[in-house]
Amino acid sequence: MKEAYLYSYTGKDKIRCDLCSHRCVIGLGEKGKCNVRENIEGKLFTLVYDKIISENVDPIEKKPLYHFLPGSLSLSIATPGCNFKCFFCQNYEISQMPSDAGYIQGKDISPDCIVEDALKNKCESISYTYTEPTIFFELAYDTAKLANKKGLKNVFVTNGYMTEDCIDMISPYLDAANVDLKSFSDRFYRDNAGARLKPVLDNIKYLREEGIWLEITTLLIPGLNDSTEEIRKIAVFIKSIGKDIPWHISAYYPRYKAKIAPTEATSIKKAIGIAKEIGLLHPYAGNIHGSDFENTICPNCGEVFITRNGYYIVKNNIHKNKCRRCGKEIDGVFD
């Protein structure tokens, strides 16, 4: 165990966790909503600092990040736990372990070892992913500082529910983030994730302002967040921050407690059409491999300068952030 970062006292034996936007007030012997932060004898401790549940070498495209070091490898790590309770969670076996199973598993790997693993496997970055990096922030932060010194980039794949204090603390070492914008409805967030929409929108804006490379993912769930109106609202919001922000519109498949039928490919293509109509430059299809909507296209001349097959680069025709054909500068981190 390790004493937590970012907490304050609210009264006798009560602690407020200032890491995520739930800002749980935790009594003596109690845990926050994430079930991995506990008030022990008047101090807040993280229970997952030494509990790595997953460590893999992934293509960066799997995060998904399409405009950040494309074709590179990223060491991906996670601990158990999450501050959301999504009935459709894609990684529920590990994200919901502390709440559903009532225990925490994982192996003890130090930040130094994580960085060494990344270097040994020729990774260019470390991604804090699979579950929610905010809930294992202490491990992510300590690792990110060491990684930065070694020339590695750091990536958060997140639900975007952290506090500004959390972003301020990690931002000197955080190079990119993919934020999961689940819906543009506060009711959706309340009913299906146990959270609220506004903190996510605020944090997307703040991450952009901080100069962290940003991409957004939306899992399109039939009947819940796939209406034309909602897709347009999300697209308009993204454009208001930056029309260059890549938006990954992904197909849902039933997992965890979800019984809804999978997303049809036609729904994803329709959503991409709406995104382009609104003016987004880089909407992508996710979870329907083999479509042309995985490729990166120059918004100026239409040249396909990155061709993908699933998570892998087939052809990369970009040079120093510019399209080789017309010289248009493409937004992203390509070198």
**Which residues of the chain form beta strands (DSSP E)?**
2-3, 7-11, 14-17, 25-26, 37-40, 43-46, 54-59, 73-78, 125-128, 153-158, 176-180, 213-220, 247-251, 283-286, 296-297, 304-309, 312-316, 318-319, 322-323
Q: Are residue 227 and residue 138 in the same domain, yes or no?
A: yes
Reply yes or no on whether the pLDDT at 74 is more than 90.
yes
Residue 317: band (very low, low, confident or very high) from pLDDT cuts 50, 70, 90: confident
Note the pLDDT of residue 335: 73
Note the pLDDT of residue 265: 93
Note the pLDDT of residue 11: 82
Nearest CA-CA partner of 219 in 87, 55, 58, 57 = 87
Give percent of the chain above pLDDT 70.
100
H helix and E strand count, the chain:
8, 19
- Domain assignment present for residue 322? The answer is no
Note the pLDDT of residue 42: 94
| Residues 53-81, mean pLDDT to the nearest whole number | 97
Reply yes or no on whether the pLDDT at 120 is more than 80.
yes
- Domain assignment present for residue 167? The answer is yes
Summarize pLDDT for 42-56 with one digit per residue, the tens: 999 999 999 999 999
Q: Are residue 12 and residue 100 in the same domain, yes or no?
A: no
- Domain assignment present for residue 311? The answer is no
Distance CA(87)–CA(103), nearest Å, equals 20
In the chain, the number of structural domains is: 2
Q: Average model confidence (pLDDT) for the chain?
A: 95
Q: Are residue 81 and residue 145 in the same domain, yes or no?
A: yes
Give Cα 238 distance to the centre of its chain.
Answer: 16
> How far separated are the first and last CA of the chain, in Å rounded?
38
Distance CA(62)–CA(125), nearest Å, equals 13
Q: Are residue 7 and residue 88 in the same domain, yes or no?
A: no
Note the pLDDT of residue 305: 86
CB contact set of 51 (below 8 Å; sequence gap of 6+): 79, 80, 104, 105, 106, 107, 108
Between 108-122, 270-284, 311-325, the lowest mean confidence (pLDDT) is in: 311-325
Q: Are residue 37 and residue 96 in the same domain, yes or no?
A: no
Summarize pLDDT for 27-41 with one digit per residue, the tens: 999 999 999 999 999
Note the pLDDT of residue 13: 86
Reply yes or no on whether the pLDDT at 276 is more than 70.
yes
| Residues 145-150, mean pLDDT to the nearest whole number | 98
| Residues 247-270, mean pLDDT to the nearest whole number | 96
- Domain assignment present for residue 32? The answer is yes
Summarize pLDDT for 152-188 with one digit per residue, the tens: 999 999 999 999 999 999 999 999 999 999 999 999 9
Q: Are residue 62 and residue 174 in the same domain, yes or no?
A: yes
Q: Domain residues for 41?
A: 2-46
Q: Are residue 7 and residue 94 in the same domain, yes or no?
A: no
CB–CB of 167/203 below 8 Å? Answer: yes
- Domain assignment present for residue 63? The answer is yes
Last residue of a domain, one of 27, 46, 65: 46
- Domain assignment present for residue 94? The answer is yes
Note the pLDDT of residue 290: 66
Distance CA(204)–CA(187), nearest Å, equals 19
CATH number, residue 139: 3.20.20.70
Q: Are residue 112 and residue 185 in the same domain, yes or no?
A: yes
Q: Are residue 73 and residue 19 in the same domain, yes or no?
A: no
Residue 291: band (very low, low, confident or very high) from pLDDT cuts 50, 70, 90: confident
Nearest CA-CA partner of 6 in 173, 192, 134, 157 = 134
